[in-house]
Amino acid sequence: MTTSTSRPAATARAKVARGQRVRSRERWAHVPLVLTVLLMVFPFYWTVVMATSTTKEFYSYPPTLTPGTHLVENVREVLASIDFFGSMLNTVVVAVSVTALVLFFDSLAAFAFAKFDFPGKRFLFGLLLFFFLLPAQLSAVPQFITMIHLGWLGSLKALIVPSAANAFGIFWMRQYITGAVPDELLDAATIDGCGFFRQYLSVCVPIIRPGLGFLGIYTFVGAWNDYVWPLIVLVDPDHITLQVALSQLNNAHSTDYAVVMAGSLLAIIPLLVVFLLFARQFIADAVAGAVRG
Amino acid sequence: MTSTAPARSFRRARPVPGAAARRGAVRRAWPQYAAVSPFYVLFAVFGLFPVAFSAWLAFHRWDGLSPVTYAGTEQFRFLADDATFRLAVVNTLVIWVMSTVPMLLMSLGLAALLSSVKRFRTFYEIVLFLPSVTSIVAIALFFKAIFNNQYGVLNAALTTVGLPAVQWLNGFWTIKIVIATLMTWQWVGYNAIIYYAGMQAIPNDVYEAARIDGAGAFRIFWSITVPMLRPVILFTVVVSTVTGLQSFTEPQVLFASNAATNPNSGGPGQAGLTMVLYFYQQAFTNNNFGYGAAVAYGVFAVVAVFSLVNWRLVARRDR
């Protein structure tokens, strides 16, 4: 902080005093915030403690409060009881395919909704909002039956295809494209003879890259963490996703917490890394949608 | 929403009189229809058709193998008298109130704290946001370990300070407290960050005027910040209602090991049996597809009623 020398000393002193008061008030605000941070972080820390100890160690009283040395054994036990890497591979395949399809289909549809007029547009968009509000379990049983008839039960297709486009993404992308893509550019492209798809690829996509980044992470996180639908349709216990495998591990080792927690730790690490890499921008975009919405 | 610029007109279909011209407009717009069609095709197959089929199923009996038989309104009459479903509704509502009300109040407080600090703000935001992107299965397992009846770290802490240990995962109320705590932990930071962003949008001169009128910090918060945040609060209340009333994974993972011995699950005394968990048990554990569909409509009705009530409660004060 710099105070200009030309100002009277009294004002400067008052300013410093006010600054100190503000700063001390700010210091007090850090106390509950730091407490909250500790509460938020504690379950993660405790998972690390348990994943690195033996179950006996924290069954004793007082329990150990620091990480132990048994991580390797616990991880080995996890790998022996569930097909961890197989289920992680399945999860990666599902999350990557769903994300790629959603980004393409949602942004393409959103581009049409945001920048073009066509007969029936308002009706179609209204239908989209209606679908937004329908709860998932209303369609769960018939969807399950549909999967039986398609022969997709137990296959990853049952997770990927129904999620390939969604109402939220189209809605969010439409808002984003309306503001981000200038009409003049599209008009110029039309004069140059570019059709709809050419305009989408050459004008729209390069501009909306940051928006695609947010929708991509959002979709990836959702697909990675999805539990209920995979639990219903992945009927073959050898062919499941990570979340279902985790729940299986819990059923098989319900008393051996160290192993269950080692599995949980392994399952959340990849996503934590992805989140922490993009956290700043991701939070800003997630909030913008809610506040504007 | 952006303003509608007059210059964009020639890409827009002009108001066209006559059926022939209208058909021309439809034909010219084929790329746009192609662009939006993937969603609507998927929507028809995996959204609209299932909802209609579900309505049909609710009037029938079917286990997925034997022939379908017509049941009339029997499923719905059974649902109206089903004590277990009623218990599930009560459980869900209790857990929802226990989690949503304290959570949103805490989120407001955290948001006020966040806007009063300058240093470490990004750090706080990232930590607060973290639980909302973490797998709910993993979180349920964390909490299951922390609240363990015999060996949980929470009971160890209680014993250390001389308090009796609590059978957290055994009692009617304690089970609900555990589930509500879990939900609060997962979403309190997310809502706080949304409130914080909403607070940034409140113009500064409103605060200045209040301060000149001699309002204190607390008064300013309740008389200016909260009322001006109403649209954002409405958003969080609606989202919390829709997601909170459809909780499933928390009790399903917490009490998973009981599922084999207790077909209705939800923990001791079924104190953690939520509506969607009951639906799942009926439809996919008991393969009672017809009754499952009826339960799904029951869940839908409860969620719809409470969303509407909430909407009116929060929105009414606008007038």
- B60 phi, psi to nearest 5 deg: -135, 170
Quote the domain boundaries for residue A172: 82-252
In a domain, A42, yes or no: no
Chain B, window 68-97: residues with a beta carbon less than 8 angstroms from a chain A beta carbon: none
Question: Got the DSSP string for B22-76?
Answer: HHHHHHHTHHHHHHHHHHHHHHIIIIIHHHHHHHHHTTEE--SSSPPEE-TTHHH
CB-CB under 8 Å, B2 with A26 = no
Establish if A126 belongs to a structural domain: yes
- Is the CB of A271 inside 8 Å of chain B's CB atoms? yes
Tally Cβ neighbours within 10 Å of residue B179: 27
Mapped onto helix, strand or coil, the DSSP state of residue A195 is: coil
| A71 in any annotated domain | no
In A, which residues are within 8 Å of B160 by CB distance?
62
Write the residue in B31, B110, B194 that is nearest to A290 by C-beta.
Answer: B194
Tell me whether residue A95 is in a domain. Answer: yes
Q: What is the pLDDT along chain A (293 residues), one digit of tens a residue?
A: 444 444 555 566 665 665 565 566 677 889 999 999 999 999 999 899 989 988 877 777 667 778 888 889 999 999 988 889 999 999 999 999 999 999 999 999 999 999 999 999 999 988 887 777 677 777 888 888 889 888 999 899 999 999 999 888 998 899 889 888 999 999 999 999 999 999 999 999 999 988 898 899 889 989 999 998 999 898 888 789 999 999 889 888 877 888 999 999 999 998 888 888 888 888 888 787 667 64
In angstroms, the CA B182 to CA B177 distance is: 8
Disruptive mutation site among B9, B39, B113, B118 for chain A (greatest number of A CBs within 10 Å): B39
- In one-letter notation, the amino acid at residue A51 is A
* HSE toward the beta carbon, residue B158, CA cutoff 13 A: 16
- Cα B52-B57-B62 angle, rounded to 5 deg: 150
Contact B135 A271 (CB under 8 A): yes
**Amino acid symbol at B181:** T
The domains found in chain B, sorted by start residue, are 19-75 (no CATH), 77-316 (1.10.3720.10)
- Report the residue from B116, B246, B292 with minimal CB separation from A25: B116
- What's the pTM value of the predicted model, to 2 decimals? 0.84
Q: Per the structure, how many domains does chain A have? A: 1
The CA distance from B295 to B275, in Å, is 8
Q: Could you give the C-alpha distances from B7 to A78, A118, A186, A189, B4, in angstroms and in order?
A: 63, 18, 11, 14, 9
Contacts of B25 in chain A (CB under 8 A): 118-119
Any A CB within 8 A of B139 CB: yes
Q: What is the CATH number of the domain that holds A191?
A: 1.10.3720.10
- Please, which residues 105-134 of chain B have a Cβ atom closer than 8 Å to chain A? 109-110, 113-114, 116-120, 122, 124-131, 133-134
Long-range Cβ contacts of A220-223 (<8 Å, 24+ apart): A220/A95, A220/A96, A220/A98, A220/A99, A220/A274, A221/A271, A221/A274, A221/A275, A221/B133, A223/A94, A223/A95, A223/A98, A223/A99, A223/A159, A223/A163
pLDDT in tens, chain B (319 residues): 334 344 444 455 445 456 777 778 888 888 999 999 999 999 888 888 888 888 888 888 888 777 888 877 888 888 888 989 999 999 999 999 999 999 999 999 999 999 888 889 899 999 999 999 999 999 999 998 889 887 788 888 888 888 888 888 888 899 999 999 999 999 999 999 999 988 988 888 888 888 888 888 888 888 888 888 888 888 888 888 888 898 898 988 888 654 444 555 778 888 889 999 999 888 888 888 889 889 999 998 998 888 888 777 766 554 4
Write out the two tokens for A24.
């001390």
> Cβ–Cβ contacts within 10 Å for residue B218, how many?
9
